[in-house]
């Protein structure tokens, strides 16, 4: 994305996405996590230290308020921010952004395989990837308008 973002706006965006994640306004029709998309989006436009601290904080909140007993988001979100930052600094070719997103979505699915209890994993994985890509680019577009 490349635009620099105010830390207060980044925190407020993550708080709104965290609230959406808890309230689930569209029910269980969407196979995505709002806070996860916000962390990924902000990892592209925040400095590493701020991205790591915000991802750690919101990962902690997500783990506290989740119904599962595995505390994985507190480690997963900072790892993904560092992974995105590393890949974004190393690969400056055209189309690298999409490849990084695909890798991060697949890593998120891999980290959460032990939590997911689904009957048709291929259908869920394809829905998750489709919904995540669509709503990521919607969030990116609205963030560009907001900044």
pTM of the predicted protein model: 0.89
What is the rounded average pLDDT of the residues 121-132?
87
Q: Where are the alpha helices (DSSP H) in the chain?
A: 7-23, 34-43, 48-65, 73-90, 96-111, 121-146
pLDDT tens string 2-58: 557 788 989 999 999 999 988 887 767 887 889 999 999 999 989 999 999 999 999
- The whole-number pLDDT of residue 24 equals 81
Rounded CA-CA distance 65/44 in Å is 26
| SS3 of residue 33 by DSSP | coil
* Residue 110 pLDDT: 85
**Count of beta carbons in the 10 Å neighbourhood of residue 127:** 15
pLDDT reported for residue 118: 67
**Which 3 state secondary structure label does DSSP give 47?**
coil
Write the pLDDT tens digit of every residue in 72-118: 889 999 999 999 999 999 988 888 899 999 999 999 988 887 676 66
């Amino acid at each position: 994305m490349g635009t620099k973002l105010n830390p207060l706006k980044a925190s407020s965006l993550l708080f709104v996405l965290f609230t959406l994640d808890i309230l689930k306004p569209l029910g269980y029709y969407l196979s995505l996590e709002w806070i996860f998309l916000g962390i990924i989006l902000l990892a592209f436009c925040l400095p590493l230290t701020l991205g790591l601290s915000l991802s750690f904080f919101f990962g902690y909140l997500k783990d506290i308020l989740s119904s599962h007993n595995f505390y994985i988001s507190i480690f997963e979100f900072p790892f993904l921010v560092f992974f995105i930052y590393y890949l974004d600094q190393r690969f400056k070719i055209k189309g690298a952004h999409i490849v990084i997103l695909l890798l991060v979505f697949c890593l998120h699915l891999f980290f959460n395989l032990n939590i997911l209890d689904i009957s048709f994993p291929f259908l869920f994985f394809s829905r998750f990837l489709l919904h995540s890509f669509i709503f990521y680019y919607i969030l990116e577009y609205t963030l560009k308008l907001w900044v």
